[in-house]
Homo-oligomer: A and B are copies of this chain.
Amino acid sequence: MLPESIQKTIEEFNKLPGIGSKSAQRLVFYLLRKRDEDVERFGEIIQNLKKGIHYCKQCANLCTNDVCAICQNDARNQEVICVVEDIMDLIAIENTGEYKGLYHVLHGVISPIEGVGPDDLKITELMERLKAGTVHEIIVALNSSMEGEATLSYLMRYIKPLQIKVTRIARGIPVGGDIEYADSQTVRRALEGRMEY
Binds B, one of A49-57, A136-144, A157-165, A171-179: A49-57
A86 close to B (CB within 8 Å): yes
Interface residues of A in 122-154 (CB under 8 A from B): none
- Segment touching B, from A19-27, A74-82, A186-194: A19-27
Q: A3-B62, A29-B88, A91-B1 are in contact. Are A39 and B47 (CB under 8 A)?
A: yes
Residues on the B chain within 8 Å of A18, using CB:
23, 26-27
A45-B9, A62-B6, A63-B3 as given contacts; A50 in contact with B29, CB under 8 Å: no
Q: Which residues of B contact A5 (CB under 8 A)?
A: 45, 48-53
Contact of A12 among B8, B42, B64 (CB under 8 A): B42
Residue contact B9 to A53, C-beta cutoff 8 Å: no
Q: Does A17 contact B (CB under 8 A)?
A: yes
Interface size for A (C-beta < 8 A) is: 47
Copies of this chain = 2
Chain B residues with CB below 8 A from A47, complex form: 39-40, 43-44, 47
Counting CB contacts under 8 A, is A169 at the interface? no
Candidates B6, B19, B49, B64; contact of A49 at CB < 8 Å: B6
**Contact of A64 with B3 at beta-carbon distance under 8 Å, contacts A28-B49, A30-B16, A88-B29 already known:** yes
Complex A-B: 6 CB contacts under 8 Å: A2-B87, A31-B46, A31-B49, A39-B49, A43-B43, A44-B47
- In the complex, besides A5-B51, A42-B46, A43-B45, 18 extra interface pairs with C-beta distance below 8 angstroms are A1-B91, A2-B62, A3-B53, A5-B50, A6-B49, A6-B53, A6-B62, A17-B26, A17-B27, A25-B91, A26-B88, A29-B87, A29-B88, A32-B62, A39-B47, A39-B49, A39-B50, A43-B49
